[in-house]
Structure 1
Amino acid sequence: MTEPGEQLPEEVLALIFRHLPLRDRATASRVCRAWAAAATCSAVWHDTIISYDCEREGTLLPYLSACLDHVHNLRLEFEPSREPSRRAATELLTALAGRTPGLRSLLLNCHGEKPLFDAGRDILDAVHAICRASCALRHLDLRRLPFTLDDALVLQASRGCPELRSLFLNNCTLVGSVSPDSVLELLKACPRLRALGLHLASLSGTALQVLAAPDRAPFAHLALRCACPEDVRAPPLPEEDWAAVRRRHPSLVVELELEPALPDESVTRVLQPAVPVAALRLSLSGDTVGPVRFAARHYASTLRALEVRAAASAELDAALELLAVRCTDLREVHCFCVVRPSVLHAFRAHCPRLRSYTLKLTREPHPWLPTLVA
């Protein structure tokens, strides 16, 4: 009798299996020898998404353990407030640490409610183990990890991952515990770093000077989140340092995310004309109109995406219309309050590269979905 796997070559089966959930991959591997070979080959596992929201929780499946050597780029999703989901994620990360040749990219994505107190210590210890043992790691994204990240983690990444190209630490935590000194150490230890995400308080003028050095490798992406009390107290970064970075890296893209914890006087210290802001996200409890007008005046040549969460007002509508006229290279604009029709008309008329927008003329049930421009 012909085995099912003999009907298709292994490379075709592998292309199919790489799109299956983990549980279905394991089932396919038990069908026949040909399917087992295809389901465990490196092509299936090179880029892997594992979700412990939908996969069976508990100890690692023997099938998964046998394939970990092939995992190079991993997106791991779990619910940190649910102990079985968190335990399964921790076991997987611990098992991956030290594998040869090891991870190249790791993105952690948390869903569900935020855990209480120090519930994430086990996950953070596993991330430490990854940074300590995976010397080939190039991309580490912790933006969706709801735990406080600290100096120890950054210094471990500095020592253990010299090939880092991107590191994102700008997560939604209430406390910023990464000091500017640790970031400076990271920049010195990882000369090929091209993308970095931080809370504002973690960035210093000295770090900008390091990025502006003549022998620095091209730096492309800086994401800054301003929401913690530490961000409020952070001193303004020198305009001349921003200008030097911009001259050294003319293609640099800066993302700024301003949250309600930032008072109006701090907003004016964060928004500086020399910063090449490409994406601006505003969710301020005080003056939102001022930052929108500032962006229209100073970021006309760089701004590509704007997101505003504010109360509807005639002043905000006027500021948005001004921004539409001046920032003609916008690709996205999302305003989560009702606007007058002239705002929508202004963006459609003056922004020919607009790809999607959320500009509602009447109240609708949430979530508000964006409109795609054909």
Structure 2
Amino acid sequence: MAEPGEQLPAEVLALIFCHLPLRDRAAAARVCRAWAAAATCSAVWHDTNISCYCEREGALPPYLSDCLDHIRNLRLEFEPSREPSRRVATELLTALAGRSPGLRGLRLECRGEKPLFDAGRDILQAVRAICGTARALRLLDLRRLPFTLDDSLVLQAARGCPELRSLFLNNGTLVGSVGPGSVLELLEACPHLCTLGLHLASLSHAALDALAAPHRAPFALLALRCACAEDARAPPLPDEAWAALRRRHPGLVVEVELEPAMPAESVTRVLQPAVPVAALRLCLSGDTVGPLRFAALHYAATLRVLEVRAAASAQLDSALESLAPRCPGLREVHCFCVVRPAVLHAFLAHCPRLRSYTLKLTREPHPWQPKLVE
């Protein structure tokens, strides 16, 4: 009888195995020699998704250490409130720091609830270790971590990852602990950085000037999250600095996310006419109509994505109706409250590039799913 591995070509087996969770890859590697070779080849591990909350509570599979050198892009999911899940994630990241100098991309995503008394020091220490050894790292995405990020992590990335292209620090923390000085050092140390996600309090006039410098590589995306007390107290950045940045990088896209912690006076400091806002996400505890009217007036040429989380009202409907004809370049509109039919008709009539929308005319069970435009 032929061995199972002889029934399919090695490249087909590798294509199948790359979609399996760790424990299933480990089981496949024990079937026969052919399957073991396919389960541990570089094609399986080059782009790897690992979900630690699906793994057993034990340690990592023993064969995994032989595969770490092959990992180039890793997306790692774990559940911080479950100690076994967090321990496996930490062990994997720590092992990766010592075995995979060729790592190019790292995305970390948390699922479930954050433990009340855990600051994520174990995970963040492992991330710092990776930044100290993975000199080829180009992408570091920490947007889905609920832990407070700090200057030491940013400085480690600046000193250890000179090839960094994309860095996302705009996570859901309630405390902003990354200072503007660390971001400025990061920009000076990583000349190829073209995508950056920050809390507003981490951005400074000096950083905008550094990005607008003549020798700077083209800068593509700046994602700003305004969600904590430090963001609300951040001083306004001069319009002339934004204008200079836009002249230097005419293709620059800015995404702005405003959370309930931002009072009305802070919102007016963030939404400035010279900022080329392409994505605006509003989840405010106060006035939402004012920011919508401001966006319709100043971001008509740049706005591509609009997301609104607010209570339904006639004033909100009116602001949305007025915005639609002024922003014909919109590609996505998502409003998470019931709107009147005239709002839906306005966006469909005036936004020919619209690809998807969430505009409900009647209350439906959540979660609401967007509708694709045919």
Question: Where does residue 177 of structure 1 map in the other structure?
Answer: 177
In the aligned structure 1, how far is the partner of 2:112 from the partner of 2:305? 27
Partner of residue 340, structure 1: 340
- TM-score with structure 1 length normalisation? 0.98
The 3-state SS of whatever aligns with 2:243 is helix
Cα distance, 1:94 vs structure 2: 0.2
Q: Deviations over 1:158-191 (max 9, x none)?
A: 0111110011000101100000000000000000
Structure 2 residue runs without a partner (length 5+)? none
Residue equivalent to 1:106? 106
Is the 8 Å Cα contact of residues 71 and 100 (structure 2) preserved in structure 1?
Answer: no
Q: Deviation at 1:17? A: 1.2
Q: Deviations over 1:120-139 (max 9, x none)?
A: 11111111111111111110
Per the alignment, residue 127 of structure 2 pairs with: 127
Residue in 1 that maps onto 2:302: 302
Counterpart of 1:65 in structure 2 is 65
1:226 aligns with 2:215: no
Q: Does 1:24 align with 2:28?
A: no
**Offset, 1:284:** 0.6
Task: Determine the C-alpha separation between the residues in 1 that align with 2:19 and 2:126.
Answer: 26
Q: Which residue of 1 aligns with 2:209?
A: 209
Hey, what's the Cα distance between the residues in 2 that align with 1:190 and 1:57?
39
What amino acid is aligned across from residue 82 of structure 1 in structure 2? R
- Range that drifts further, 279-288 or 49-58: 49-58
Name the residue aligned to 1:318. 318
- Give the C-alpha shift of residue 58 in structure 1: 2.6
Task: Give, in angstroms, the shift of residue 100 of structure 1.
Answer: 4.0
Aligned-partner Cα distance in 1 for 2:154–2:351: 40
- Local SS of the residue matching 2:342: helix
- Displacement of 1:151: 0.5
Residue in structure 2 matched with residue 237 of structure 1 by the alignment: 237
Structure 2 counterpart of 1:34: 34
Contact 1:180 1:201 in 2 (8 A): yes
Segments of 5+ residues of structure 1 without an aligned counterpart are none
* Preserved CA contact (<8 Å) 1:99 1:134: no
Equivalent residues of 1:72, 1:104 under 8 A apart: yes
Report how many aligned residue pairs link the two structures. Answer: 374
Q: 2:336 is matched by which residue type in structure 1?
A: F
Task: Render the CA deviation track for 1:93-136: whole Å, top value 9, x for unaligned.
Answer: 00000324431110000011112234411111111111111111
1:241-256 residue pairs with structure 2 within 5 A?
A: 241-256=241-256
Partner of 1:261: 261
Partners of 1:273 and 1:98 lie apart in 2 by: 47
Name the CA distance, whole Å, in 2 between partners of 1:192 and 1:285: 38
Per-residue deviation, residues 300-352 of structure 1 (Å, max 9, x unmatched): 11111000001111111111111111111111100011100000000111111
- Identical-residue share of aligned pairs (%): 82
Counterpart in the other structure of 1:15: 15
Q: Which residue of 1 aligns with 2:81?
A: 81
Q: Which runs of 4+ in 1 moved over 4 A?
A: none
Tell me the CA shift for residue 7 of structure 1: 2.4
Superposition deviation, residue 11 in structure 1:
1.3
Q: Contact conserved, 1:29 with 1:36, CA < 8 A, in 2?
A: yes
**Once superposed, what is the RMSD of the aligned Cα atoms?**
1.0
Residue identity in the other structure for 2:235? P
Question: Is the CA contact 2:23–2:61 (under 8 Å) kept in the aligned structure 1?
Answer: no
Letter in 1 for 2:280: L
Alpha-carbon offset, residue 23 of structure 1: 1.7
- Counterpart in the other structure of 2:353: 353
Name the structure 2 match of 1:138.
138
Separation of aligned partners in 2, 1:311 and 1:274: 29
**Structure 1 residue 271: Cα displacement:** 0.2
| 8 Å Cα contact 2:300/2:327 also seen in 1 | yes
Letter in 2 for 1:193: L
Q: Are 1:91 and 2:85 matched, yes or no?
A: no
CA drift at 1:31: 1.5
2:101–2:135 CA contact under 8 A, matched in 1? no
Cα distance in 1 between the residues matched to 2:57 and 2:186:
35
Deviations 1:272-298 (A, max 9, x none): 111111110000111100101111111
